[in-house]
Each structure stands twice: as C-alpha cells, then as structure tokens.
C-alpha cells in the first residue's frame, strides 16, 4: 500500500517530483548500522544492512538490494522471494560478482528449478552461489562474519538467520606481558588470542511468536539488533488471527518484553491495512522501558 498523503502534500509533490523523495526516510541508523528496505505484509519484504553487504529476503528486488553480496531467504512466499531472479540478473547486467544466496535446504531444489526456467526464457547465465542451510547449520561469510540458521514458525517451511561477528581476545595467561613479549610469542607461532563470536543481527522473516520461547533461539534474543515481524498491531485483529496465518501480533511481542535482551528491535511486515501513524502510535503504547528500543521499518507504508 502506498503512502497516503493529504491533498496539499499531493499537489506539492506534483509541482516538485523530488519533494516526496527527499521527505521519505530512505534509511535509519540503528546501533551503528544503517538499515534500509521495505516490508509490507503480503506485498514485499527486503531488509538491507549495506555496511555488511547483506540483504534479507527479496520480495520485489528494490534497487539498493542489488549491491548487496549476500542474500538470505527466509521462506518461499512470493512477497519474500519474488525478486530473486531479477536480483541475480541485474547483478550480471552490471558485471558484478555472482552473489551468494542462502535458502532453507528444503526449498533449494525448487529455487534451482526457478533459475533453470528463467535461464531458458532469458538466455542468460544468471550466475550465483546457492547455498541451502538447515536449522542449526552455520556458514562462514568472511573472516569476521558467520551466519547460523534458526527455527521459525510459519505456515510453510521457514527459518531465520543470525549474523555473528568475530573478534579476537588476548588469552588470560598473556594479559600481564609487555608488547614486545607478546610480539615475540606471536612471531614464534604461539596462539595468544582466542575468537569471540557475538550475535550482531537476527532476522526472523515470517513467524509466529513461538520462536521467542524456543530454547535453541537464545542467541536470537541476544543479538544486538533483532529484525522481526509484527504483522498486526491493534485489537481489531486478534492474536489468534495472526497465529492462524503464521504471524506475530504486537501484543505478543509486548508480553514477551522481558525476554528480549537485544539492544534494538526493528519491527517489519506490517499489514497493508495500517497507516504509518497507526503503527507508530501502537509502538508508543508499549511499556516505556521496552518502547525505547523498538523501531518500525515503515518505508512505503
């Protein structure tokens, strides 16, 4: 659903085509990470972390997604995967390196067939690296980043992803040594540090709130930033309706507030029935200690 403007706003935009673009918030800064994208329930979802070259889901392939090297698909619904062939094709058109795409292993074969069909129609190579992950499996993205798939609860096979950052810390037994002594040990081949993996970003895709109480998802609730769905935000739509369709209601998120250890929570996938102001008002009603770290990705609404 497009932004709903007043008559004055519409006339101003018509007289100055750039005005609506300049007023639209294209990205937000959350815990040091620029975050971009769109997410409207049933229409499209694509959440982008450009500083990491990462995108989650690819509903209609927004332009900014094309420059991201890693793409993580949560499930096979069209509003989350529909732009996949365009994403790969456009990177090829711009002579960019083939992207690395992660999908649930259960749909990997279907995705391969999807590309075969598009190759036949498009007569192009559509080069990419397609990786199927099962829940619990990990993959090293870079020396300082890895991903792990976690279980989500939707009406079709689905999964979320946790991105971990890696840092190295000096081992306790070497902490009292001088810089020269540490350097000599390092040169001699002694392993003086150990790696620390920190959950930085977690993305749920579509899911019921059950993922919150899954004991295997502890790191999801510890990630610096949690990107999670909140399809419904008011009492007009009951919690059971959300659950019937494999989604989460804002009231459920509020009820689990003390479980979230995340520094920030970005809510996505709002139903197209809502105005942006209604979403912001619903979030403002959350307990103050919780609402202060909850953000809405409401571009396009």
Please provide the average confidence, as pLDDT, over all residues in the chain.
Answer: 90
CATH superfamily of 27-296: Ribonuclease Z/Hydroxyacylglutathione hydrolase-like (3.60.15.10)
CB of 38 closer than 8 Å to CB of 22: no
- 25 falls in which pLDDT band (50, 70, 90)? low
Please determine, for residue 10, whether its predicted confidence score (pLDDT) is greater than 90: no
For range 214-227, the mean pLDDT: 98
- Give the residue among 126, 145, 156, 137 at the shortest CA–CA distance from 70: 145
Higher model confidence: residue 169 or residue 139? 139
CB of 291 closer than 8 Å to CB of 267: no
pLDDT for position 269: 98
For range 259-277, the mean pLDDT: 97
List own/partner pairs for 119-127 with CB under 8 A and 24 or more apart: 122/85, 122/89, 124/89, 124/92, 125/92, 126/85, 126/88, 126/89, 126/92, 127/88, 127/92, 127/98
pLDDT for position 53: 98
List pLDDT tens digits, range 151-160: 999 999 999 9
Lowest mean pLDDT among 123-127, 187-191, 201-205: 187-191
pLDDT for position 12: 35
Domain extent listing, the chain: 27-296
For range 17-21, the mean pLDDT: 32
List pLDDT tens digits, range 97-124: 999 999 999 999 999 999 999 999 999 9
Please determine, for residue 11, whether its predicted confidence score (pLDDT) is greater than 50: no
Please determine, for residue 8, whether its predicted confidence score (pLDDT) is greater than 70: no
Lowest mean pLDDT among 18-22, 32-36, 70-74, 113-117: 18-22
Please determine, for residue 60, whether its predicted confidence score (pLDDT) is greater than 80: yes
For range 291-295, the mean pLDDT: 94
- Give the residue among 241, 243, 265 at the shortest CA–CA distance from 254: 265
């Amino acid at each position: 659903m497009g932004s709903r403007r007043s008559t004055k706003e519409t006339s101003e935009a018509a007289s100055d085509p750039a005005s609506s673009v300049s007023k639209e918030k294209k990205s937000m800064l959350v815990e040091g990470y620029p975050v971009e994208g769109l997410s409207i329930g049933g229409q499209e979802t694509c959440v982008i972390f450009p500083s990491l070259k990462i995108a989650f889901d690819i509903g209609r392939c927004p332009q900014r997604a094309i420059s991201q090297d890693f793409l993580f698909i949560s499930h096979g619904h069209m509003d989350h995967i529909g732009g996949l062939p365009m994403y790969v094709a456009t990177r090829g058109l711009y002579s960019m390196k083939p992207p690395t795409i992660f999908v649930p292993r259960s749909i990997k074969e279907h995705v391969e067939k999807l590309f075969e069909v598009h190759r036949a129609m498009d007569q192009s190579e559509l080069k990419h690296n397609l990786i199927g992950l099962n829940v619990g499996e990990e993959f090293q993205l870079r020396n300082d980043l890895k991903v792990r798939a976690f279980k989500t609860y939707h009406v079709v096979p689905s999964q979320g992803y946790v991105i971990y950052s890696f840092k190295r810390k000096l081992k306790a037994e070497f902490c009292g040594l001088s810089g020269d002594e540490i350097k000599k040990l390092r040169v001699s081949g002694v392993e003086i540090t150990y790696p620390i993996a920190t959950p930085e970003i977690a993305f749920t895709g579509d899911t019921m709130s059950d993922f919150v109480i899954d004991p295997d998802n502890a790191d999801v609730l510890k990630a610096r930033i949690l990107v999670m769905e909140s399809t419904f935000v008011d009492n007009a739509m009951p919690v059971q309706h959300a659950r019937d369709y494999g989604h989460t209601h804002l009231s459920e998120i509020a009820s689990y507030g003390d479980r979230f250890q995340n520094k920030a929570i970005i809510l996505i996938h709002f139903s197209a029935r809502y105005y942006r102001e209604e979403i912001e008002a619903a979030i403002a009603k959350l307990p103050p200690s919780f609402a202060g770290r909850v953000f809405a990705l409401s571009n396009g609404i």
